[in-house]
Structure 1
Amino acid sequence: MSVSVEIPSTSHRRDSEPFIDSRTRRNSLQIAAMEEGPNSPSKSPSRRKRYSFSSISCFGVELTPDNIAVAMVYFVQGVLGLARLAVSFYLKDDLHLDPAETAVISGFSSLPWLVKPLYGFISDSFPLFGYRRRSYLVLSGLLGALSWSLMATMVNSKYSAAFCILLGSLSVAFSDVVVDSMVVERARGESQSMSGSLQSLCWGSSAFGSIVSSYFSGSLVDDYGVRFVFGMTALLPLITSAVAVLVKEQPIIVSAWSENLSLGSPGFLESSKDNLIQIWGTLKQPDVFLPTLFIFLWQATPHSDPAMFYFTTNKLHFSPEFLGRVKLVTSVASLIGVGIYNGFLKTVPLRKTFLATTIFGTALGLTQVFLVTGLNRQFGISDQWFAIGDSLILTVLGQASFMPVLVLAARLCPEGMEATLFATLMSISNGGSVLGGLIGAGLTQTFGVTKDRFDNLVLLIVVCNLTSLLPLPLLGLLPKDNTNALAKDTTDVETKSGGKFNP
């Protein structure tokens, strides 16, 4: 994206989970109308009925209460974008940080997304008030509300800001893991086309949330200041707590559970050891390890988003209100990207999708050079219109190219501890994103790009975009044809790893 930076920042190739993942965001998954795959022997007529009573559907997925809850959590992740511009301007104008410092804070705030398997393990193994899903959604929403309340009232240094952003990131990451576990349970065994439809519903909800908050993210900063925006944002995570009541989950009898899995008990330790062994046994299988390695390397290429944000605000003097309009355009573009993937790309083999989107994304990313050098004005295109058009195209392409990553990761998960294993795969992806951000921060510092010096910004943009091509020789690590192969590969992995997980 040409004109803004998110905290943590995201490149056009990555997951845009709020307050990460970048790309990371951020990371992530699919909603299905059924809890298990079509070949599951345990599927009963009553269970089938449980997930098919609704006649209302979106992207081909029935809007059951569970699915609505998951979609609403994704919606909250999108609508939390209300504070992104406020955070960026707060770090730049109130704390007077340079682009490299901003990128480092972004990487620090992304740390909760690197230990997502821990949240999955906690959610699967430690029911809170008798529930594995509901209670943790409530807790995540309250934690998010606390973090933004602190940003609105008490934060006054880069360290306290980093800590509060970290708490907000932890809130989103934990709720993301909880809904991931629900999603993967339903996506298991589905075809690539259905998985794509489920993914489209999730990311469509997130994109809709971004659209709702986009324009006001800039105008509210202009009119009322960053503290007011932080205060409004503090109300949004409470939606996550509220929709927890929609999750259909049988309560666990705590006394019976504690007898078997109390901390320090032989049963708990043995169960934990078995789960770790099975997760490692799954990850080291070539069918899982090689695609995961490619995703990590694909995410680990650097980007120049923080430097571009400083350039467009300090050099081109783009206002918060205008950047809010740009964010609105990119939010709509993200939804368009979801639609393009759902309509045309969800049945295309992964290798072809990655090859095409990476090459086009690199070429289009280089158009940022026009904005930095002013070449666009020689063609009669103002900086504002060029920034909007450039961001629109890059966002559409970036969203369409990242969705196959999520589809692949979810469908690699065997049955059982879905939250833990899926979180492991996405944490590896997020780790690549954080590494890419830190490399970008290092390049920004090396090239001498600061909040008021942009002499080498063109070189930074060129280097960051060309490095996006480096993972392409490794496309052979991905499955040749992912229409039905992944479901079979997942079954093979379950067999080789000694059975299925038992939470």
Structure 2
Amino acid sequence: MFSAFSILLGLQLALSLSTKETLPSSHRNWNICHVRTSLSDNLRKQFSNLRTAISEEQIFYPLMWIMTSFAVVPILSGTMFCFQTQYLKLDPSVIGLSKVVGQVMVLSLTVLYNKYLKKIPLRRLVAGVQTMYALAVLSDLVLVKQVNLMLGIPNEIHVLCFSALAEAIAQFKVLPFSVLLSSQCPPGCEGSLFAFFTSGLVFSAIVSGVFGVGLSSLIGVSGGDYTSFPLCILLQSLAALVPLGWISFLPEKWTADDKILKPR
């Protein structure tokens, strides 16, 4: 199964690299798309266009911020899942349903952004979202310390309503950057830039996961001992505030209403 999946991905990559990006509104580009170029020439040209786009400051610095903002925060989702299923004995279906609730939150935040939040300058908006993310991480601390039971809230209800809150905010944080990149990207390399953007986010998530595993191991959290788990969550919340230290990488006054319509 793994070999078949790898072959399929390889074919998809080869097809993507052999497809030349064109501008549909240009008659000249419509003619160019019929010219067959070699895979190596097309790859070289796309890489050159991507390098040119990334070298622009209005693209490079926001890219670096969003990627590092994910990478420096250790993800403890695996440890939390074990805590919920092994220690609290929660039904996995409740945890799965909480993910659905999280996606509903993302959809709601997207609608809210389109109506109101896009008018807020990017730097101020992202700073607020990042702060909310750091606070949302603490909802796991409430569950681990069983504060919700003291307030009369069952574990199932708390997990259903708050377990995916931080993840939903993290997913929403990508949206303003997608709008920014779409407005600043040079014509002709939109696909390459967004592929690089997505790959960078995936790599950041991998680094974040490695940090999470390392943090849990370092502090001594294991399947039979969760006494140090609250400390892990506190450190995760503090780490979520670290990217605010280089928030100046983001444009101070840019809003989604200021999108630059580049000539086609």
TM over 0.5: yes
Q: Are 1:389 and 2:161 counterparts?
A: yes
* Distance in structure 2 (CA, Å) of the matches to 1:453 and 1:406: 41
Distance of aligned partners of 1:396 and 1:336 in 2 relative to their CA distance in 1, 3 Å threshold: farther
Tell me which residue corresponds to 2:253: 481
Contact 1:357 1:401 in 2 (8 A): yes
TM-score by structure 2 length? 0.80
Tell me which residue corresponds to 2:69: 298
Deviation at 1:464, TM superposition (A): 1.1
Deviation at 1:486, TM superposition (A): 5.5
Tell me which residue corresponds to 2:224: 452
Q: For 1:263-274, list aligned pairs within 5 A.
A: 263=39, 269=41, 272-274=43-45
Distance of aligned partners of 1:417 and 1:285 in 2 relative to their CA distance in 1, 3 Å threshold: closer
Contact 1:362 1:468 in 2 (8 A): yes
Deviation at 1:455, TM superposition (A): 1.7
* Distance in structure 2 (CA, Å) of the matches to 1:435 and 1:462: 19
* Number of residue pairs aligned between Structure 1 and Structure 2: 248
Greater helix content: 2
Three-state SS of the structure 1 residue aligned to 2:211 is helix
Query: Structure 1 residue aligned with 2:213, among 438, 441, 458?
Result: 441
Structure scoring higher RCO (CA < 8 A, sep ≥ 6) equals: 2
* Distance in structure 2 (CA, Å) of the matches to 1:396 and 1:278: 33
**Could you list the runs of 5+ residues in structure 2 that have no partner in the other structure?**
1-8, 25-29
Contact 1:303 1:436 in 2 (8 A): yes
Deviation at 1:292, TM superposition (A): 1.2
Query: Structure 2 residue aligned with 1:337, among 102, 109, 112?
Result: 109
Q: Are 1:126 and 2:18 counterparts?
A: yes
AA aligned to 1:435 is V
User: CA offsets, 1:57-85, max 9 Å, x none?
Assistant: xxxxxxxxxxxxxxxxxxxxxxxxxxxxx
Contact 2:140 2:163 in 1 (8 A): no
Tell me which residue corresponds to 1:58: none
Tell me which residue corresponds to 2:48: 277
User: CA offsets, 1:222-272, max 9 Å, x none?
Assistant: xxxxxxxxxxxxxxxxxxxxxxxxxxx99x66xx51xxx235xxxx53x54
Query: Structure 2 residue aligned with 1:289, among 57, 60, 63?
Result: 60
AA aligned to 2:110 is V
**Could you list the runs of 5+ residues in structure 1 that have no partner in the other structure?**
1-114, 133-180, 187-248, 492-499
Deviation at 1:333, TM superposition (A): 2.0
* Distance in structure 2 (CA, Å) of the matches to 1:278 and 1:393: 38
Query: Structure 1 residue aligned with 2:150, among 378, 393, 409?
Result: 378
Contact 1:299 1:430 in 2 (8 A): no
* Distance in structure 2 (CA, Å) of the matches to 1:436 and 1:317: 27
Deviation at 1:274, TM superposition (A): 4.0
Contact 2:62 2:250 in 1 (8 A): yes
Q: For 1:165-180, list aligned pairs within 5 A.
A: none
After superposing on structure 2, the runs of 4+ consecutive aligned residues of structure 1 that deviate more than 4 Å are none
User: CA offsets, 1:172-200, max 9 Å, x none?
Assistant: xxxxxxxxx89xx79xxxxxxxxxxxxxx
* Distance in structure 2 (CA, Å) of the matches to 1:324 and 1:274: 44
* Distance in structure 2 (CA, Å) of the matches to 1:272 and 1:323: 43
Deviation at 1:355, TM superposition (A): 0.9
Three-state SS of the structure 1 residue aligned to 2:252 is coil
Three-state SS of the structure 2 residue aligned to 1:470 is helix
Contact 1:368 1:461 in 2 (8 A): yes
* Distance in structure 2 (CA, Å) of the matches to 1:376 and 1:290: 40
Q: Are 1:262 and 2:38 counterparts?
A: yes
